[in-house]
Chains A and B, each alone.
Chain A
């Protein structure tokens, strides 16, 4: 059974940093791209970042480019989202999700999602 478990969320002030983790199990982790998608309170979904199965290729939404980095550990089956220079508008539930496509990721077709972790940025 595929499981994704996010952790690392919390409350912090603008300008701070936070690292989210997503522990994966139930599939061959290195064969699939992974993405982070967020949802601000009462708002829609926003794709944030994605990383290829090998970890060599990554993509970012313009709203986080230069502030967030994504990485993965294919031994520990974990994907990370390092968030720096956080702003109030980064407040959201952050979901980790597995790509549906084996091999090269689609980054838009995500077939398994975690329950999400809440990040609150406020002074």
Chain B
């Protein structure tokens, strides 16, 4: 059971906009920033979003992050086949004194 809750799966067709949610609580998302990763099976994770809504260089603008209260979201617009991967949110937890990951969401491009 992960501290941060994500839907296990999401899907969309090419060109669509999809969002992936991440629900937490006061000591984690409620008090700290959220980061998002993409992981293609068999490869290392890739940082997509840091500090709730900031994109590292090289991450396309069609990916965006947001946070409100104890929840966060990752939005992917103009869905492409290459977006098919697992997505994870993570935030520092003040009670556990370390970062906690969500359980991950498998995104399928139909």
Which residues of A does B touch, CB under 8 Å? 35, 37, 44-47, 50, 59-62, 95, 100, 106-111, 113-116
Shortest CB distance B92–A (Å): 5
Interface size on B, residues (CB 8 A): 27
Q: In the complex, are the beta carbons of B101 and A44 less than 8 A apart? A: yes
**In the complex, A59 Cα to B51 Cα: how many Å?**
20
Shortest CB distance B54–A (Å): 9
A62: chain B residues within 8 A (beta carbon)? 96
**In the complex, A116 Cα to B100 Cα: how many Å?**
19
Shortest CB distance A102–B (Å): 13
Q: In the complex, are the beta carbons of A44 and B98 less than 8 A apart? A: no
Q: Which of B14-22, B39-47, B71-79 makes up part of the contact surface? A: B39-47
Which residue of chain A is the closest to B57 with respect to CB atoms? A111
Known contacts: A45-B37, A47-B98, A62-B96. The answer to whether A109 contacts B47 by CB under 8 A is yes
Q: In the complex, are the beta carbons of B101 and A47 less than 8 A apart? A: yes
- 9 of the cross-chain contacts (CB-CB < 8 Å) are A44-B86, A44-B88, A44-B102, A45-B37, A47-B100, A50-B98, A62-B96, A108-B92, A111-B56
Known: A60-B98, A108-B35; 18 extra A-B contacts, CB below 8 A, are A35-B99, A44-B2, A44-B101, A45-B101, A47-B90, A47-B101, A61-B96, A100-B47, A106-B92, A107-B92, A107-B98, A108-B33, A108-B91, A109-B33, A109-B47, A111-B50, A111-B56, A113-B44
For the complex of A and B, list the 4 residue pairs with the smallest distance between their C-beta atoms, beginning with the closest: A108-B99, A109-B50, A113-B44, A44-B104
